Structure 1
Amino acid sequence: MAIHWQTLARNPDLPSAYLKAALNRKITGERLPELGLRCSLSADPRHLAAYRELCGFGEGGMLPATYPHVLAFALQMRLMTDKSFPFPLLGLVHLRNRIQVLRPLGGVAGVRVSVHTQNLQRHEKGVTFDLVTQVDDPLGSLWQEHSTFLCRHAKVEGLPESAPAPLPHPQQALVAVHRWYAAADTGRRYARVSGDYNPIHLSALSARLFGFPTAIAHGMWSLAQSVAALRERLPLSNYQLAVEFHKPVRLPSELILSATAAELGGQLALHGRDELLHMSGTWGPVVL
């Protein structure tokens, strides 16, 4: 599929995107848009500091590996609320995420961020697609992300069925490396930093409108907390981190991150109460 790129003069407005999302609650097509969006963006020091504090990264000279996702969030929202996008944004389920840190992430000023969709596939509960986000500087690609989403009840004939590769069996035992408590207001606090005000994360009352008994934590918050806890084990660049989201984290909740020993590659798992698995994943060198 050829991508028709549109370059925006500034970061899109989030309130208008949320208004469109609230008004568009129907499936309107069977094809992903050929539209791709680009915009020059920079990391704001105060916003970055707030993100670091909330997600447990502390101070440092390098950007957290998960921060470009937040930097690109308004652009992602603009694409997925465009009239050419066929699926309602509210109700999409984030199944998997793969981040590639291709070169060291410094201050990130004046980079070009681009987003597009691809890989529409059939799923037993609907269809899945990938939202691809890339960050480039004048020297080339710095960072890339593939976020896989499920749109329930969507039906598109003639598509291949999605079959994610199973996680490799760990060569070493996973041991607990970090434990933290996700308070009831975690979703609201992360929303203020990320811009992601999906109602399922904000309160028990708003979450019940979408079938959840309590508010649930953002998947990308859980991933960011895990990356922060593993940052001494991860290289500065040329690595990828792939995770699958399982059961949602109901707020409030205590979480335990387990991982294999620090090597070139490894595995991680995030559990909650009664050994409930919330997220699992791997990290290792980028495979081109």
Structure 2
Amino acid sequence: MTVHWLDLDTPPHLPALYARAATKRTITGDTLPDKGLRCWVTVDGKPLEAFREVCDLPSSPLLPPTYPHLLAFGLQMQLLTDKDFPFPLLGLIHLSNQIRVLRPMGGVSQLRIGVSANNLQKHPKGATFDVVTQVDDLIGPLWEAQSTLLCKGVDLPGDAPQPAASIASGMTELTRWYAPADIGRRYARVSGDYNPIHLSAASAKLFDLPTAIAHGLWLEARTLAALNSHLPAANVEITVDFKKPVRLPAEVNLHSSEAGSSGDFQLNGHADLVHMVGRWRPLS
């Protein structure tokens, strides 16, 4: 699909987008728009340090591998709440996330972020699609990501593709940590993502959840912080599949293979409940 880009002068205003998201609750079609949004953003040191703190990331001259997602959040919100987008933002389920660090992300201050949606596919519970995020610096492509989201209730023709099996072995426990009840609110203040299912038990119950659940991108960032010494700084593709949500508060434990150009990891909870599985591989 050819993307028709709309270049914005400034990043979107989040409060207006939240108001727009709250008013759209129905599915209005089954075709993704071909429009993409782009904007230049400035990397500000203060929000970056706040992100490092909430995700327990060490100080580094390089941007954390998941940080461009925060810079892209406003554009993603505007794309997904546009009147031409067929699915309501509230209720979308984040199934997986893949990021590709093309070059070391150091010494960058100005970045061009581009977001678009593609790859609409049938799913046993509805339909999935990908939100694609591209980041360029003044030299060229720097970072890419693909987030796969599920919208329940969409009825597409044909058969749903079979998921690929992801079984890894040879992992040992690397570390464990405690996810406190307020981590969703703390992450929201840093990221701007105030999804009610992550904020409190009371707001999560509005969406039929017994308690708040940890934000998937916070789990990924916190996991990659623990894997920092295992991962290459660039020329790497990192993929995570979100399994069972982490109900807050909770203790989780991280299992990983040895450091190297390739590896696997898994985040478990009580009674070895699998919350997230992931892998890193060199870019081909």
| TM-score after normalising by structure 2 | 0.98
| 1:193-249 deviations in Å (ceiling 9; x for gaps) | 111101000110110111110000000000000000001111110001001000000
Q: Structure 1 unaligned segments of length 5 or more: list them.
A: none
1:97 equivalent to 2:94? Answer no
Question: What SS is found at the alignment partner of 1:232?
Answer: helix
Partner Cα distance (1:204, 1:242) in 2: 29
Per-residue deviation, 1:138: 2.8
After superposition, the CA RMSD in angstroms is 1.1
1:2 equivalent to 2:5? Answer no
Partner Cα distance (1:195, 1:157) in 2: 36
Equivalences for residues 189-204 of structure 1 within 5 A: 189-204=186-201
Partner of 2:68: 68
Partner Cα distance (1:162, 1:200) in 2: 29
| 1:78-97 deviations in Å (ceiling 9; x for gaps) | 10000111000000000000
Question: What SS is found at the alignment partner of 1:284?
Answer: strand
Question: What SS is found at the alignment partner of 1:180?
Answer: strand
After the TM superposition, which of the residue ranges 123-132 and 58-67 deviates more from structure 2?
58-67
Equivalences for residues 240-255 of structure 1 within 5 A: 240-255=237-252
After the TM superposition, which of the residue ranges 160-169 and 262-271 deviates more from structure 2?
160-169
User: Which letter maps to 2:106?
Assistant: G
Per-residue deviation, 1:168: 4.9
Partner of 1:119: 119
1:43 touches 1:107 (CA, 8 Å); kept in 2? Answer: no
The partner residue of 2:217 within 212, 217, 220 is: 220
Question: What SS is found at the alignment partner of 1:73?
Answer: helix
Partner of 1:232: 229
1:167 touches 1:282 (CA, 8 Å); kept in 2? Answer: no
| 1:164-215 deviations in Å (ceiling 9; x for gaps) | 4322543xx2111121100000100001111110100011011011111000
Per-residue deviation, 1:274: 1.1
2:117 touches 2:131 (CA, 8 Å); kept in 1? Answer: yes
Question: What SS is found at the alignment partner of 2:275?
Answer: strand
Partner of 1:256: 253
Partner Cα distance (2:18, 2:165) in 1: 35
| 1:123-179 deviations in Å (ceiling 9; x for gaps) | 000000000001012322100000000001111224x62434322543xx2111121
Partner Cα distance (1:10, 1:107) in 2: 22
Partner Cα distance (1:214, 1:205) in 2: 7
Question: What SS is found at the alignment partner of 1:72?
Answer: helix
Partner of 2:205: 208
User: Which letter maps to 2:179?
Assistant: A
Partner Cα distance (1:275, 1:177) in 2: 15
2:101 touches 2:235 (CA, 8 Å); kept in 1? Answer: yes
Q: Structure 2 unaligned segments of length 5 or more: list them.
A: none
User: Which letter maps to 2:255?
Assistant: S
User: Which letter maps to 2:59?
Assistant: E
Partner Cα distance (2:107, 2:91) in 1: 34
Partner Cα distance (1:207, 1:280) in 2: 24
Sequence identity (%): 53
Would you say how many aligned residue pairs link Structure 1 and Structure 2? 284
Partner of 2:182: 185
Partner Cα distance (1:69, 1:117) in 2: 15
Question: What SS is found at the alignment partner of 1:10?
Answer: coil
Question: What SS is found at the alignment partner of 1:142?
Answer: strand
1:178 touches 1:258 (CA, 8 Å); kept in 2? Answer: yes
1:101 touches 1:240 (CA, 8 Å); kept in 2? Answer: yes
Partner of 1:286: 283
Partner Cα distance (2:162, 2:57) in 1: 33
| 1:5-35 deviations in Å (ceiling 9; x for gaps) | 0000001011111101000000011100111
User: Which letter maps to 2:118?
Assistant: Q
Partner of 1:167: 166
